[in-house]
Amino acid sequence: MHAPLSPRPLSIAAAGPLKGEVTVPGDKSISHRSLMFAGLAIGTSRIRGLLEGEDVLATAAAMRAMGATIERREDGEWRVAGVGVGGLLQPNTALDMGNSGTSTRLLMGLVASHPITATFTGDASLSKRPMARVIEPLSRMGADFTASPGDRLPLTMRGLCPAVPIEYELPVASAQVKSAVLLAGLNTPGITRVIERVPTRDHSERMLRGFGADLNVEGEVVSIRGEAELRAQDIDVPGDPSSAGFWMVAASIVPGSDVTIRNVLMNPTRTGLIAALRLMGASIEALGTRDVGGEAVADLRVRHAPLSAIEVPPDLAPSMIDEYPVLFVAAAFAKGHTVARGAHELRVKESDRIAAMAAALGLAGVRVEEHEDGLSIEGRDGEPLVGTGGARVASLLDHRIAMAMAVAGMHAARPVAIDDAAPIATSYPGFIATAQALGAQPTWLDA
């Protein structure tokens, strides 16, 4: 099983304007997929800008365990020699997914149509997350599952080869479930179809086509022709918009701030937070928009601006589901009453992010009302938070809760203390160092 990290409590309070340039880690969604698809391709792929957080490293370890050769060079470039579609090998030990739901669900899709058996394990947080939404379609394709109670990890699955192509309508908007079915379809004879009524992030579709898969999108239907042959690619991973979101909000709420975030992915299925913040009055300027490997990329200049409350349009939810915690922080500093709903999926993330953020903001002096699918937040009209008064916010082993509340502390009259910031390393190992470089003053506390 995954060994838990020792808790690292953190304290942060206002320290003046944030100024400077930031390069955020490579996009997590693209990093996961680049390792998986390169691991299934013929030839050697080169990947630059890969996010080297624990979640992505869990994907790398799992692909190695199933036969891919994956090496990191001293210059930071990764080389992946793939096994070919259908070539995954039986892993000798359980696949430890750490905290990564993306790794787990997408790799389950890969295994589903290979004649191998794999056991997935994870840390305490991941082991609480239900896998039923992936088990259901993959079972229809012929995979067999033995899961822990509640369809949770640890979980053992036996793939079927050849698997059965299906047409599957997503019951909830989920890029992970969509991707899992498409990846199972890679090694399945015939055509596998996924119907999504609400668009979700489309990195799998873009990248699979780039690797040579026969994949088509017509309206709400994504179809893939199986028994594909993927060809090795050179990949430049753009900056993660979810990681950039913390600095967008921080620069927006801290008076006098002026921060430029370099090389940010601007895929339209990922820019919901930018749209929401602009509706609130944020000053976010996209500079030098360009195309990198089929994805739009830009530099973002964000300057402090007074924010006003909004009712967040529900259709933005799929394009910013991971950014809701830091959007809640922005709402805490806006003028008026913000309603941010339409985010049921937050209940089953690394933590119940709705309940976790309601408790965290409440502890820091913000008036919050919790709904089944989001929060209503009474903003402080630009005034600093009062801090947590010596009490510590519960991060619940969730990296986004820890980072969102660290941002909240950057405009707090007294410190905001977080019980454990160690989980930040799962997605953004350099977050604390970047905060310091911009002028924030985080302080590690005794556990």
Of 96, 322, 398, 420, catalytic: 322
Nearest to 200, CA basis, from 216, 226, 222: 222
Q: How many CA atoms lie within 13 A of 392 on its CB side?
A: 17
Helix 272-279 vs helix 241-253: crossing angle, to nearest 10: 20
| CB proximity list for 312: less than 8 A, separation 6 or greater | 276, 279, 327, 338, 339, 340, 341, 342, 374
**Dist. CA 389–CA 398, nearest whole Å:** 22
| CB proximity list for 241: less than 8 A, separation 6 or greater | 27, 264, 265, 266, 267, 270, 271, 273, 274, 323
- For residue 51 the two structure tokens come to 């996010």
- For residue 196 the two structure tokens come to 């999504």
- Do the annotations mark residue 262 as ligand-binding? no
- Do the annotations mark residue 34 as ligand-binding? no
- Do the annotations mark residue 174 as ligand-binding? yes
Instruction: Give the chain's largest Cα–Cα span.
Output: 61
Contact (CB, 8 A) for 287 and 230: no
- Do the annotations mark residue 29 as ligand-binding? yes
322 catalytic, yes or no? yes
CA 266-268-271 angle, to 5 degrees, is: 65
- Do the annotations mark residue 342 as ligand-binding? no
Annotate 286-308 with DSSP letters as a single string: EEEEEEETTEEEEEEEEE----B
- Do the annotations mark residue 19 as ligand-binding? no
- For residue 320 the two structure tokens come to 């910013």
CA dihedral sign of residues 431, 26, 408, 17: positive
| CB proximity list for 436: less than 8 A, separation 6 or greater | 442
Q: Tell me the one-letter amino acid at 363.
A: L
- Do the annotations mark residue 400 as ligand-binding? yes
- Do the annotations mark residue 90 as ligand-binding? no
- Do the annotations mark residue 140 as ligand-binding? no
Contact (CB, 8 A) for 310 and 276: yes
Contact (CB, 8 A) for 333 and 307: yes
Q: Tell me the one-letter amino acid at 347.
A: R
3 state SS of 185: helix
**Dist. CA 40–CA 289, nearest whole Å:** 31
Bridge partners of 231, per DSSP, are 42
Q: Annotated binding site for phosphoenolpyruvate, which residues?
A: 28, 101, 129, 176, 353, 400
Q: Annotated binding site for 3-phosphoshikimate, which residues?
A: 28-29, 33, 174, 176, 322, 349
Catalytic residues: 322
